Amino acid sequence: MKIISDFNNYHANTPLALSLGMFDGVHLGHRSIINTLNEIAEKENLESAILSFWPHPRKFLNPDDDVKMLTTLDEKIELLAKSGIRNLFLKTFDEEFRNLTGIEFCKQILADKLHVKHLIIGYDHTFGKNKSGNYELLQSLSSELGFKVNQLEAVEFDNLNISSTKIRHALWEGRIADANKMLGYHYPLTGKVVHGRNLGKKIGYPTANLDVPADKLLPKSGAYIVEVWIENTFYKGMLSIGTNPTIDNSNKTLSTEVYILDFDEDIYDQAITAKFREFLHDEIKFESVEKLIQRLDQDKKLTGEFQF
């Protein structure tokens, strides 16, 4: 997959079948668009392409907005590459782009710079200044600008349209199974293992402390069953998101820690990935460390018996 960040240096050899949007999570709704895009590209002798943004435009519009993403940039690129997309236009949202009306965007970007011949958009997609661009505008301009346009129906889960927003809320609520079904894969966290306070080691549960990217969405605080991947090797694991209230009641800093079953190796400074499989329980402040250890023993048993 080719990644193009500067439209001005792009010279098309083959016209494009294109879709546009954040594609955060590259979930089942997105993949419905991508599959159609790839089919049309092959049928009409076009190259498939996605036009997306990084960072999220909300960060430009409001720098103080703490936007949390389902996918890091690397994760999004990897998912799109695996989907068969040939070109990814990765645009930084700026003042010039912000001020393009829907009509200007269609003419200056889609037609003049990218030479789009077929456009696929989702059921609710809007673009351009003040959301002035939509499916109806694209239809009205398609003949003049020489492209076809298709709008796809929403993909549903439990009678609700799948969206990145619904997946975020599922994760924030600890509904891991729902989030994974909408994503079409197990939600991952990748981070470098960093030194912590060795609190887990003192009670027989040494954990790997993950330094997770600041803009990556963390699910609800609590304990989870996860699959852990270290250099392409799979391990069973228990992941905790929280502040360790039983051991350190004064701590207010959220940490992400993984206890890896049947594992005793030095992995400091290595990047590992934890994929969420099941929510165990909310974060609990136990009345004693002994009670905490008893619960950890139960969680370990459940994790060991879990069918991955």
Mean pLDDT of 55-68: 89
- For residue 194, name the pLDDT band (cuts at 50, 70, 90): very high
Taking 90 as the threshold, does the pLDDT of residue 250 lie above it?
no
- For residue 97, name the pLDDT band (cuts at 50, 70, 90): confident
Say if domain 186-305 classifies as CATH 3.40.190.80.
no
Query: At 139, phi and psi to the nearest 5?
Result: -60, -45
Taking 90 as the threshold, does the pLDDT of residue 253 lie above it?
no
Mean pLDDT of 44-62: 93
Enumerate the β-bridge partners of residue 133. Answer: 127
**CATH 3.40.50.620 residue spans of the chain:** 2-157
- For residue 307, name the pLDDT band (cuts at 50, 70, 90): very high
Q: Which residue has the higher pLDDT, 93 or 277?
A: 277
Q: What is the pLDDT of residue 271?
A: 97
Q: What is the pLDDT of residue 123?
A: 84
- For residue 71, name the pLDDT band (cuts at 50, 70, 90): very high
Q: What is the pLDDT of residue 25?
A: 98
The predicted-structure confidence for 17-30, as pLDDT tens digits, reads as follows 999 999 999 999 99
Query: At 32, phi and psi to the nearest 5?
Result: -65, -40
| Percent of the residues in the chain that have a pLDDT greater than 90, as a whole number | 77
Taking 80 as the threshold, does the pLDDT of residue 47 lie above it?
yes
Which has the minimum average pLDDT: 82-96, 118-132, 246-260?
A: 246-260
The Cα–Cα gap between 75 and 26 comes to 9
- For residue 184, name the pLDDT band (cuts at 50, 70, 90): very high
The Cα–Cα gap between 286 and 223 comes to 14
Tell me the Cα Rg of the chain: 22
- For residue 12, name the pLDDT band (cuts at 50, 70, 90): confident
Q: What is the mean pLDDT of the chain?
A: 93
**Tokens matching residue 6:** 């500067």
Taking 90 as the threshold, does the pLDDT of residue 143 lie above it?
yes
Taking 80 as the threshold, does the pLDDT of residue 277 lie above it?
yes
Q: What three-state secondary structure class fits 125?
A: coil
Would you put residue 198 in left (φ > 0), alpha (ψ -120 to 50) or beta? left
Residues near 305 by beta carbon (within 8 Å), at least 6 away in sequence: none
Q: What is the pLDDT of residue 7?
A: 82
Q: Which residue has the higher pLDDT, 67 or 238?
A: 238
The Cα–Cα gap between 192 and 211 comes to 5
The Cα–Cα gap between 81 and 121 comes to 19
**CATH 2.40.30.30 residue spans of the chain:** 186-305
- For residue 99, name the pLDDT band (cuts at 50, 70, 90): very high
CATH pick for 2-157 out of 3.40.50.300, 2.30.30.700, 3.40.50.620, 1.10.490.10: 3.40.50.620
The 3-class secondary structure across the chain, one letter per residue, is CEEECCHHHCCCCCCEEEEECCCCCCCHHHHHHHHHHHHHHHHCCCEEEEEEECCCHHHHHCCCCCCCECCCHHHHHHHHHHCCCCEEEEECCCHHHHCCCHHHHHHHHHHHHCCEEEEEECCCCCECHHHCECHHHHHHHHHHHCCEEEECCCCEECCEECCHHHHHHHHHCCCHHHHHHHHCCCCEEEEEEECCCCHHHHCCCCCEEEECCCCECCCCCEEEEEEEEECCEEEEEEEEEECCCCCCCCCCCCEEEEEECCCCCCCCCCEEEEEEEEEEEECCCCCCHHHHHHHHHHHHHHHHHCCC
The Cα–Cα gap between 57 and 45 comes to 32
